[in-house]
Amino acid sequence: MKNFVRRACLLLILSSVALSYSQEKVDLETMSRIRYEGFRDSKVMELASGLMDSIGERLTGSPNMKRANEWTRDQLTAMGLSNSHLEAWGPFGRGWANQYVNVRMTSPDVVTLLAYPKAWTPGTSGAIQGKCIRATIDDRKDFDKYKGKLAGMIVILGSDAEVKPIAEAPYKRLTDDDLAKLADYQIPDRPPFRFADFLKRQQFTKDLNQFFADEKVLAVIDHSRGTSGGGTVFVQSGGSYKSGETATIPQLTMASEHWTRIARLLQQKKDVSLELNVANNFYDDDPMQYDTIAEIPGGDKKDEIVMLGAHLDSWHAGTGATDNGAGTIVMMEAVRILKALDIRPRRTIRIGLWSGEEQGLLGSQNYVEHHFGSRPPMDDPSMKGMPTLLRREAGDVTVKPEQAKISAYFNVDNGTGKIRGVHLQENEAVAPVFEAWMKPFKDLGMTTLTMRNTGGTDHLSFDAVGIPGFQFIQDPIEYETRTHHSNMDVYDRLQPEDLKQAAVIVAAFVYDAAMRDQMLPRKPIEKSLPKEPEKKED
């Protein structure tokens, strides 16, 4: 009898899923029209050149970021979208941009070296020369080893860099085996992110910058991450963007092969002198930052919303092509396709292009807090004026009326690779819906749904307040090995056919969500966490 009951329950569950799948309507005629427009009259690479070539890097707070906001707003208006505007958030802090950099060895050889300044660090106020000294500083205990030894020196900072031969091609697509493994849910076993540990690392950076200032060093140069080298330089920030917390010593990141030459010479007790000329500008005229927002108005369900988005900001050494110009132009192309086909969606379709993602999803968090819901502010001084959506220890989420009206948010932010599936963020109820939506694109390589969560980008801001937020699975191509936050993140690393495929799939998913009778099913909002106990210093 028990076995009969079990079998009956299983059949009931399977029948329910099958019924849900069979009842999910997919307008195949419109899918064909979307494919035709996206593959035969694509504008995605025109958008790419406009953003990456004509505007370039888009560090949050920089003049180029504001230009990108205005350019995307005007492009979306020209496509026929409504209510295209810039929505302010902040205050953010200081803007910054590099204007000029030249680094060369003057002794024992004369040679130009490849290096980039770190964001939110000062320039050199003209050419300066100085001798180099090696330093490895991992925590405050190391300060005493170098106290009184660094004045007037250029500090070659960090542990030894290891450059290995490239044993395999850095270009990679997900294999069937990779996708099968990804589809298997992995029970979380990692310890939760500890905000206290983040604050401790942040405080050490401040202490280290102050130590260098007190020791009156000329400049600090570390090496690029990774072992592949090849002139790829991964560089981010060297200090805070917050007013009153800016680093006061010039800081640069150098190509590993050039940094290791200097390190070897110093190891051999030889004098090494460098000449640096770095011009960086700070901008304090507008502490606010902006997200670009535009809409395709809905019909009978116009008060309900389907959103798609990507972050528009980037780091500064490249032109932000794969991170995340690719996501930006895919989303812009997706709404262009829908407008070109004169799609009349039932729900309003809204695109959001976010700033401040690289500094902690700031643009999307502020947008969600303003429109959909928020957590209480935190007492920690470092969190003053900062969004707390992703800080579950801040308290429970309070939702706003608009939260009940948004059906879904779709995000692209993992490089230039084609879409291979969707991370469901543990929303089991949406699986049969997406399975039906995905079926017309299996011939394009989109085959995989995974219950796994994925992090690090703007869908988390929506997920935090109970809105179904999704990041697509993408082929990695050379994202981590070459382009992510590097000087090689440029137009030439984009894959045109992959971007066309991604735009077509995004347009289709957005269309399906906008036309569906019901909004997408939701999962519960994550509960708040107890405040972390303070860790005693060693």
Q: What is the pLDDT of residue 192?
A: 59
Q: Tell whether 511 is covered by a domain.
A: yes
One domain, residues 323 and 365:
yes
CATH number for the domain harbouring residue 489: 3.40.630.10
Query: Which backbone phi and psi does 394 adopt, to 5 degrees?
Result: -70, -25
Q: Where are the alpha helices (DSSP H) in 80-175?
A: 143-146
| DSSP label of 517 | S
SS3 348: strand
Pairing state between β 219-223 and 251-254: parallel
DSSP strands (E only) in 51-153: 82-89, 95-107, 111-113, 115-117, 128-135
Note the pLDDT of residue 532: 65
CA-CA-CA-CA torsion sign (340, 345, 350, 351) = negative
pLDDT digits (tens, 9 = 90+) for 376-413: 999 888 888 899 999 999 999 999 999 999 999 999 99
Same domain, 198 and 327: no
Within a domain: residue 435? yes
Q: pLDDT value at position 15?
A: 46
Q: What letter does residue 526 receive in the DSSP assignment?
A: P
Q: Please report the pLDDT score of residue 17 as a whole number.
A: 45
Among candidate residues 261, 283, 305, the one where a domain is terminated: 283
Q: Residue 530: what pLDDT?
A: 86
pLDDT digits (tens, 9 = 90+) for 304-324: 999 999 999 999 999 999 999
Dig out the tokens for 248 from the structure: 């006061």
- Can you tell me the distance from the alpha carbon of 262 to that of 131, in angstroms, rounded to the nearest whole number? 11
Same domain, 348 and 260: no
- Domain with 496, as residue range(s), is 24-92+288-515
Fill in the amino acid letter for 351. Answer: I
- My answer on whether 223 and 252 are in the same domain is yes
The domain tally of the chain equals 2
Which pLDDT score, from 0 to 100, does residue 536 have?
A: 55
Cα separation of 270 and 173, whole Å? 46
pLDDT for res 533 = 62
pLDDT of residue 381: 84
Indicate if 324 and 426 belong to the same structural domain: yes
Pairing of β 469-474 and β 419-423? antiparallel
pLDDT value, residue 360: 95
Specify the CATH number for the domain of residue 168: 3.50.30.30
Check residue 8 and give its pLDDT. Answer: 45
Q: Which residues of the chain have pLDDT under 70?
A: 1-22, 167-169, 189-195, 228, 532-538
How many Cβ atoms are within 10 Å of 248's Cβ, its own excluded?
11
Question: What's the pTM value of the predicted model, to 2 decimals?
Answer: 0.93
Backbone angles phi, psi at 24, to 5 degrees: -70, 115
Give the sign of the dihedral formed by CA 478, CA 484, CA 486, CA 487.
Answer: positive
Helix (H/G/I), strand (E/B), else coil: 132: strand
Same domain as 493, residue 350? yes
- Please, what is the end-to-end C-alpha distance for the chain in angstroms? 62
